Amino acid sequence: MINSDLVSKTIFFVKQKLENAEGGHDWFHIERVYKNALAISRNEKCDELVVKLSALLHDIADSKFHKGDETIGPKLAREFLVSENVPEETIVEVINIIDNISYKGGNFEKVYHSKELDIVQDADRLDAIGAIGIARTFNFGGFKNRPMYNPSIQPNLHMSKEEYKNSEAPTLNHFYEKLLLLKDKMNTETGKQIAEQRHHYMETFLSQFYAEWDGEK
């Protein structure tokens, strides 16, 4: 199959699967990550098809919306790629990326390494920070009916993977438990450069938020 045809079919498949997805993990999230990945890959030596397929399929069934089951996404991705007669070596690379892209609290050892994972992971993390990241964070907090902020509940910076997955902390805590940590976890030079600006934007937002909360502005 010609790669462009496969990418087009993958886009159609993902749009269908995520038609009713939560706003921060919908097709538009996938599209932004896809664009980020393409931008980063232009400065990296990589398998472009693996990058494209992984970016498009990385959140096909986010475990947060499937009772924490991390096997559904890779299974759906594999079934789709097999149905399109994608070579097994390509499928294995894509599945490895899907299995290893998630933040998972940040307290786990990465066991799979590839340039393509570096690119797609950076692309996904970029969508979690900056203006879009702020919007997505509060959107998800509202979806889960969490308070925006509670000064008496401090961020937990040493959560296990299970604690991170099951956290019901106020939305603002997520900035300290994940978003503000991502800048220093970027893999590629392009990702690091973009993350620096988006990180600064979040710091400015938090300063304004606290000033407004305390009636100072």
Helices (H), 113-188: 115-126, 130-143, 161-166, 173-177
**How much is the pTM?**
0.89
Look at residue 202 in the predicted model and tell me its pLDDT.
98
Look at residue 65 in the predicted model and tell me its pLDDT.
52
Look at residue 4 in the predicted model and tell me its pLDDT.
86
Of 44, 18, 88, 19, give the one whose Cα is nearest residue 189. Answer: 44
The C-alpha atoms of residue 143 and residue 137 are separated, in whole angstroms, by 10
Res. 108: pLDDT tops 60 = no
| Cα dihedral across residues 144, 26, 60, 196: positive or negative | negative
Does 75 or 2 have the greater pLDDT score? Answer: 75
Does 167 or 136 have the greater pLDDT score? Answer: 136
Res. 67: pLDDT tops 70 = no
* Amino acid type, 88: E
Res. 127: pLDDT tops 70 = yes
